[in-house]
């Protein structure tokens, strides 16, 4: 059984009451804590990208590694950064530039036949960050793929039974924020062996606000 949407809306309304206006656009973060999970078992550790119902109004940066027609369409149809085969080869051995690239972009996608080259040149920098590219065929609908990635948020539960991720920004509509937060919770609960039984608490907060607890029932 999932948490009702109204509970998220209620928490967001309370959050707006205690939030102070800042000179920058704050992100809405969700913090989930769990119980009864043995994280020594690899199957209980979660690393995944969740597609949100509504795009976060804070740019999600996508890098497309491609050549030929796919690279041309990516440049023409999307706002993603495009790296060609020649660009990729030029990066080889340039640790400083590769580290900057890994930090600059949230998600990477790469043309399938370039993946061996990507692995050789970028693998040891992107892998530990959980940013290895998603392979896509040369005929892929790159516009739809980039738009999908721009609605994603990354979740990770490795050494501690908590998940903390961004689900929106304070200038978004309350219902959009609530639906994004609920989508993350529902996704995680489906991954857990006993679902809701593992859920200890859910809190929401803006970047510099106090936290507000979401009622679980």
Beta strand ranges found along the chain (DSSP E): 27-34, 46-51, 62-65, 81-83, 107-111, 134-136, 152-157, 162-169, 199-206, 212-213
5-57+151-213: CATH number: 3.30.190.20
Nearest by Cα to 122 from 145, 100, 106: 100
Beta-carbon count within 10 A of 168 CB? 29
pLDDT at 4 over 80: yes
The full length of the chain comes to 217
Q: How many CA atoms lie within 13 A of 48 on its CB side?
A: 16
**Could you read off the pLDDT of 138-158 as tens digits, one per residue?**
999 999 999 999 889 989 888
Over residues 19-26, the mean pLDDT reads 89
Q: Which residues 6+ apart lie within 8 Å of 173 measured at CB?
A: none
At which residue do the structure tokens 């924020």 appear? 177
What single DSSP character describes residue 19? P
| Domain ranges, ordered by start, for the chain | 5-57+151-213, 62-149
| Residue 89: predicted pLDDT | 95
**Could you read off the pLDDT of 36-61 as tens digits, one per residue?**
888 888 888 888 889 999 988 777 89
As given in the structure block, the two tokens for residue 2 are 């999932």
| Residue 90: predicted pLDDT | 95
Question: Using 50, 70 and 90 to split pLDDT, how confident is the model at 7?
Answer: very high
62-149: CATH number: 3.40.50.790
Task: Classify residue 130 as left (phi > 0), alpha (psi -120 to 50) or beta.
Answer: left
Report how far residue 168's alpha carbon sits from residue 107's, in angstroms, rounded to the nearest whole number: 17
pLDDT at 200 over 90: yes
């Amino acid at each position: 059984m999932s948490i009702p949407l109204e509970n998220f809306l209620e928490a967001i309304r309370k959050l707006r009451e205690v939030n102070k206006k800042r000179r920058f656009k704050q992100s809405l973060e969700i913090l989930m804590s769990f119980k009864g999970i043995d994280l020594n078992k690899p199957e209980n550790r979660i690393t995944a990208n969740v597609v949100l119902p509504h795009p976060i109004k804070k740019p999600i940066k996508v890098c497309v590694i491609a050549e030929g027609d796919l690279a041309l369409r990516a440049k023409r149809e999307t706002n993603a950064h495009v790296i060609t085969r020649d660009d990729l080869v030029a990066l080889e051995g340039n640790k400083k530039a590769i580290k900057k690239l890994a930090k600059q972009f949230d998600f990477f996608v790469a043309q399938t036949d370039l993946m061996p080259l990507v692995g050789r040149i970028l693998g040891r920098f992107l892998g530990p960050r959980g940013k290895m590219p998603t392979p896509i065929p040369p005929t892929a609908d790159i516009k739809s793929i980039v738009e999908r990635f721009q609605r994603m948020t990354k979740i990770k539960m490795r050494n501690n039974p908590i998940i903390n991720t961004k689900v929106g920004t304070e200038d978004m509509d309350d219902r959009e924020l609530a639906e994004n937060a609920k989508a993350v919770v529902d996704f995680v609960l489906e991954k857990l062996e006993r679902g809701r039984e593992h859920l200890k608490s859910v809190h929401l907060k803006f970047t510099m606000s106090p936290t507000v607890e979401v009622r679980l029932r």
